[in-house]
Structure formats: structure tokens, C-alpha cells
């Protein structure tokens, strides 16, 4: 089984992401100690709330530096994706800076953008077997604005198009919640694990 480290930075719901990854076939460890990443084949960075709070949690344990140094497969979810970027408009928070760009407030209403919305992807392997336009569950008010359009893997519309999935090499991230998105979310997590296993086989 693929050993997946789910990073606990103090905020949010780890029960549902851990259970969803286990259903997808992962051997899940919840970690807050940076040293624990050494044994993992992949890292999942979940998160709800705001970038500033997530970053405080990551800095407290030194996990911020460990994630920046981690060059294996990484999946960011919601605020876990937002912290990939350099800074957020929300409270002027500084992120990990793994991907060039910012995080900005959505223009659509109602806000938070809450519920199931269409994810139009470009055929990225993360979405194998999932038709473009399949709805996933979102709950957020901010979304990433990458500098380089080439990292955009999917977009969604809420009063204007926003980036709902990102791929920058082995770092991937989704603005929606695969652990709460029914069959399509389960498939996406399986695709991520398949990619991790493929990478391990190639190594």
C-alpha cells in the first residue's frame, strides 16, 4: 500500500480526508512532525479556513520548510492548495511560494462559494475517467491566480472563471474537496495514488 502522509496543521477536518484516502487504497499517517515525511511516498496537505492560519500551523512545527524541500508527489486540497502560492489577498498572508502567483477573492455571489460546481479540466491524469464538467464540492471564498497559465489543470465558473486545479510538476492541487465529492472525488484520489505508485515504480 502507498504510504501517504496527511499533514495536520491544527485546523480542519482530517477524519474525512483520511477515510477517503484509505478507501482509495492508501496507508494513511496523520503527521505534524516534519521528520515523518521521510517515510512517505506522497504528501497530502488538506486545509480549510484561511491561508494565514494554515501557515501559522505549518511554521509552528517547521513543516513549512519541510514541504518546500519535499520533491515527491504532493496534493494540496482547498487551503492546502492556496498555501502553494506566494501570498493571499486574505489578510495579506504569505504562503509557501512553491508556485508563482497569488490567491484572490472570488467575484461571484453567494460567497462563500459553497456546493457542487462543474470542473472543466484539460485531461490532466488527475482527472482520468472523469468527464470535463463533472461537479465537485467546493467551499471557499478565495482561489489561486497562478502567474504561469501552464500550471492550470482545471477551471470553474462562479461569477467568472477561476482556477480549480493546478499542476506544477509533481505538485498538484485542487480547490474543491475530493473527499466530499462522491464518486468523482474518490476517482480523483485513486488517480493521484496511481500516479504516486507509477512514480515509485519508475524510480
Partner 1 sequence: MLRKRVIPCLDVADGRVVKGVNFVDLVDEGDPVELAARYVDEGADELCFLDITASHEGRGTLLELVRRTAETLTVPFTVGGGVASVDDMRAVLRAGADKVTVNTAAVLRPRLLLDCAEAFGRQCVVLAIDAKARDDGTWEVYTHGGRRETGIDAVAWAATGAALGAGEILLTSMDRDGTKDGYDLELLRAVRAAVDVPVVASGGAGEPDHMVAALRDGGADAVLAASIFHRREHSVGEVKARLAEAGIPVRIPGRAA
Residues with catalytic annotation?
A: 78, 177, 179
Burial class (CB in 10 A: 0-12, 13-18, 19+), 129: exposed
Element (H, E) at 77: strand 74-77
Give the Cα separation of 53 and 119 in Å (integer): 27
How far is it, in rounded angstroms, from Cα 81 to Cα 97? 11
| Angle formed at CA 134 by CA 130 and CA 136, multiple of 5 degrees | 105
The piece of 58-66, 137-145, 160-168, 191-199 that touches partner 1 (CB under 8 A) is: 137-145
The SS3 call for residue 52 is: helix
Smallest gap from Cβ 38 to partner 1, in A, equals 26
Binding mask 143-182 for partner 1 (x = CB under 8 A): --------------xx------------------x-xxxx
Q: Which residue has the cell 480549510?
A: 48
Our finding on whether 198 is near partner 1 (CB under 8 A) is: no
One character per residue 55-94, x = contact with partner 1 (rule: CB under 8 A)? ------------------------x---------------
Number of residues binding to partner 1, judged by CB under 8 A: 41
Which one of residues 62, 115, 125, 132 is an interface residue with partner 1 (CB under 8 A)?
A: 115
Q: Which stretch binds partner 1 (CB under 8 A): 49-57, 59-67, 97-105, 147-155?
A: 49-57
Position 9 contacts partner 1 (CB under 8 A): no
Among 6, 185, 191, 196, binds partner 1 (CB under 8 A): 185
Beta carbons of 51 and 90 less than 8 angstroms apart? yes
CB-CB neighbours of 30 under 10 Å: 15
CA distances from 201 to 8, 28, 153, 196, 197 (A): 28, 20, 24, 9, 6
Please report how close the Cβ of residue 142 comes to partner 1 at its closest, in angstroms. 10
CB of 150 to partner 1, least distance (A): 27
Binding site for partner 1 (CB under 8 A): 11-16, 19-20, 48-50, 53, 79, 108-118, 135, 137, 139-141, 157-158, 177, 179-187
Amino acid at each position: 500500500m502507498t504510504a501517504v502522509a496527511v499533514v495536520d496543521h491544527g485546523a480542519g477536518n482530517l477524519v474525512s480526508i483520511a477515510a477517503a484516502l484509505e478507501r482509495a487504497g492508501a496507508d494513511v499517517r496523520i503527521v505534524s512532525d516534519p521528520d515523518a515525511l521521510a517515510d512517505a511516498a506522497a504528501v497530502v496537505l488538506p486545509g480549510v479556513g484561511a491561508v494565514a492560519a494554515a501557515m501559522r500551523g505549518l511554521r509552528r512545527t517547521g513543516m513549512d520548510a519541510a514541504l518546500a524541500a519535499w520533491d515527491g508527489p504532493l496534493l494540496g486540497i482547498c487551503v492546502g492548495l492556496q498555501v502553494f502560492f506566494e501570498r493571499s489577498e486574505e489578510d495579506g498572508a504569505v504562503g509557501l511560494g512553491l508556485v508563482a502567483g497569488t490567491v484572490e477573492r472570488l467575484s461571484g455571489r453567494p460567497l462563500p462559494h459553497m456546493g457542487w460546481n462543474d470542473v472543466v479540466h484539460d485531461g490532466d491524469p488527475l482527472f482520468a475517467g472523469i468527464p470535463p464538467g463533472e461537479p465537485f464540492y467546493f467551499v471557499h471564498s478565495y482561489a489561486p491566480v497562478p502567474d504561469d497559465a501552464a500550471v492550470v489543470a482545471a477551471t470553474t465558473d462562479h461569477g467568472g472563471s477561476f482556477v480549480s486545479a493546478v499542476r506544477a510538476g509533481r505538485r498538484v492541487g485542487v480547490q474543491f474537496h475530493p473527499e466530499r465529492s462522491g464518486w468523482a472525488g474518490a476517482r480523483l484520489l485513486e488517480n493521484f495514488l496511481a500516479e504516486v505508485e507509477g512514480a515509485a515504480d519508475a524510480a
